Structure 1
Amino acid sequence: MNLSREIKKGQHENALHAKHNGGTPPLGYDVDPANKMLIINADEANIIKIIFDMTQDRYSYNDVANFLNDKGFKTKRGSTFTKNSLHDILRNPKYTGLYFYNRIAKPILGTNVNSHKYNDPKDMTLVPGGVPAIISQEQFDDVQQILDLRKQSGECGMAYSGNKSANKHNSSTHITYRCGGRRKIAESKCKNISVNRDLLEAKVLQYLAEVIFNPKIIPQIVAKYEVAVKKKDEAATTALRNMKKELAEIKRKSSNIMDSIESGLATKALLRRLNDLDAQEQALTEKIAIEEGRSATPTIDTKKVEALFLKAKELFKRHELDATKRLIDIFIDRITVYNDHIDVRYSLLPFVPEKDTVDIIQTIPINDLRHYKLKDY
C-alpha cells in the first residue's frame, strides 16, 4: 500500500509539472527523454490536422478513416484508423495545449472500463499550455459541436444510434434509430420511440432538396446572415464604448484620490480604495484590449454559398448512399426525437462563424413519417 501511495504521489508531482506519466504518448507527440515532457512529432501532427480539418468539413468517421488508411497512415500503435481511434483523437483537448492527468473515470466495481467516461474537471490535474498545441481552441470547440448529439432523444437527452434487426418474415434487414437510453434499466430507461431510418432520411432529404434547389434561397439566407452579423457587431461596439466610459470614470476617481493623498489625507481607507481602483483599471484595460483586437465578423461570400449549393445538387443527382451521408453531414446540425414529433435543425451556412443565425428547424409529426420518394433533379 505504501509503494502504491508513493507511485501515485510521484505521478501527481509529474502531472503538476506537465510531465508524461508513462504509456504511449498520443498520436502527434513524442516524449522528450531529457525532461519527460511531450514534444510535437511533425509527421504525426500533420495527421492530426487532417483529422480535425476533415471533421470540421463534415466528413464522417468512415470517410476520414478510409482517407487516412488509403494514404497508408497509421495510429500511434501502428494500426489502421477506426471510428473509435478517431473519436479518441477528436475528443482529446490535449491537442489544444491542455495537459491533463486523471481524466479517465474509474469503472464501477464489477464492470468493464469505459474509456469514453471522464472525471469531473475538479478531480483532474489540469495544466493549460503544458503541451505544445497542434490545433487551435476555436477549431477544437467547433469540432466538439459537430460531434455532439446530432440525433438526440428529446425525452432523456441521450444520443440516438443505428439499430439493425432482421425481418422475421423474410430475409430483409430493418434499420432504425434508437435512443441509447432504452438500454438502461428500471426507472432510468428511456421510453422514447424508435424511428425508421429510411423514412426519416427520405423526409429530411426531400425537405433539403426543396431548399437547395430553390433559386431564391441564397439571397434570402445571405441577407438574413448579414442582418444578424450587423446586430452582433453593433452590440460589440456599444459594449466597447461602455467599457471605455467605465475606464474613464475609474481613472477620474483615482485622480481625485491621488489629489487627496498629495494634500496630506493619506488614510488607510483611501489607500485601499486606490488599490482597488488600480486593480479595476488594469482588468478593464486588458478586457478592452482583447475586444479591440477582435476583428469584425466577416461578411459572407455569396459565391462560396453558390459553390456549396452546387456541390449539394451534384450529390443529390448521384443517388448514392455515400452522397446521401455527405449531404446529411454537411447540412444537418441536429435531429431531436420526441414521442410525437421530430425536430430537424438544418445548418445552411456550415462554414461561417455565426452559422446558427440562418438555421432552419423543421418539425416532422411522427404520423407523417410515411414513404417519401425523392424527385429527380
Structure 2
Amino acid sequence: MRPLTVAQAVAAAAVAMRLARGRDRPAPLQPGSSGPAGEPVSVVIPARDEESRIEGCVAPLLADPAVGEVIVVDDESRDGTAELAGRLGATVVAGAPLPDGWVGKQWALHQGVRAAVGPVVVLLDADTRPKAGLCAELAALLDAYDLVSAGPRFVCGGPVEQALHASLLATLVYRFGPIGPSATSADRLLVNGQCLAFRKARMVEVDGFARVRRHLTDDVALGRSLARDGWRVAFRDAGALLEVDMHESVADVWRQWGRSISLRDVTSAARQAGDLGVVWLTTALPVLRLAAGRPGPLDLALLAQRFLLLVALRKSYVRPGVGLVVSPLLDVVAAVRLTWSALLPTRTWRGRHYGCAAVRPGGRPGRPVRSAAR
C-alpha cells in the first residue's frame, strides 16, 4: 500500500472519530427553555467603525427583559458608531488609546467588562443579530459552566459567498468536531468570540483579556487558557437565537476567515501540520482525484461523507441554498486558504498592524499582568 494511501486512511479515521462525537451533542438552545434570567445581564459590544451594523445588534437587546444594560465600547471609531449607539439607548464607553502589546478587541473588552454593572456578562460582536431569550439561556448555563460560547446561524449574501463560507466552516468541523461535545483536551477546545457569557467577578479576578492581549485568535486563546485553569467551558448551538451577518462579499469571506482559520497563534507547528494534512487528505484530495477522473474507493467514501455533512451544516445558515450544496467543490480552495493562513498569517486588522507575537505558532496565553492596561 502506498504511503499516501496509508496517510489518507489514517486521516479519514481521525475525521470519522471526530464526526462521531456529534451523536453526543446537547440540544440547541431554544427561547424560554430556562425561564426568565435569575440575575441582571450586562451585554458588552466592542465596536470599531460599525455604524452600518450596530443598530441590528443593539436594538433587540434593549427590548430584551433579561438585559439590564447594553454597553458599546467605541474602539476609536472613525464613523458615527458611538453617536448612533448612544441615540439607540446604549451606554457608550469611549475606548482609551490602545496600549502597546494589546490587540484592539481585547482592549475594548477589557474596558467594557469592567464598566459592566450586572453580575452576568454577555459579549456580542456588532455584526450579531440576537433574538429575545438568548441572554436568558446563556445566563442559565452559567449554573453549570464558567464560560459559555454560542454558535449562530450565518447570513450569506449569495451562493458563491455561502459556498466558500461553508467549505471553510467544514475545515473546522473536520479538525475539531461539531459544536457541543466536550473537547478531548484544552488544547483542542474551540469557542466562538462572537458570543460569550461568564460571571463578571470571576473574569475580572483572573484578568482574562489581559492574558490574551497579544492574540489575534483571542476567543480560542481565552477559552483554552481558562480551561487549563479548571474553568468548565461549554460551546452550544444557538442558531435559533442568534444570527450573524459578518461578510459583505466573497472577497470579505476570504479575508476575514484568513485571519484566524488556521488558529496559528494558539496551535503548535506540529499540530498545525497535522491539521493541514487532515484537511488536504480528506477534503481536497478526493475532489482533485474526482476532477482528474481517478477517484479511489476511499476518495468516493470521503466525498459521500462530505456531502452527508451538508445535512448538519444546513442548520448553520439562515437561508441554506445551492451554495451550501456545491460547497464541497470548493474544498480545494478552502484548503489553500487554510494553508495560506498558517504560512503567511494576517498581521493587520481593522486598520491596525500587529507584530509577530500576535501570530506566533503555538503561543500560549500568559498570566494576568499589572500594567497601564489595568
Specify if TM > 0.5. no
Shorter-normalised TM range: under 0.3
Higher RCO (CA 8 Å, separation ≥ 6 residues): 2
Larger radius of gyration: 1
Give TM-score, length-normalised by structure 1. 0.28
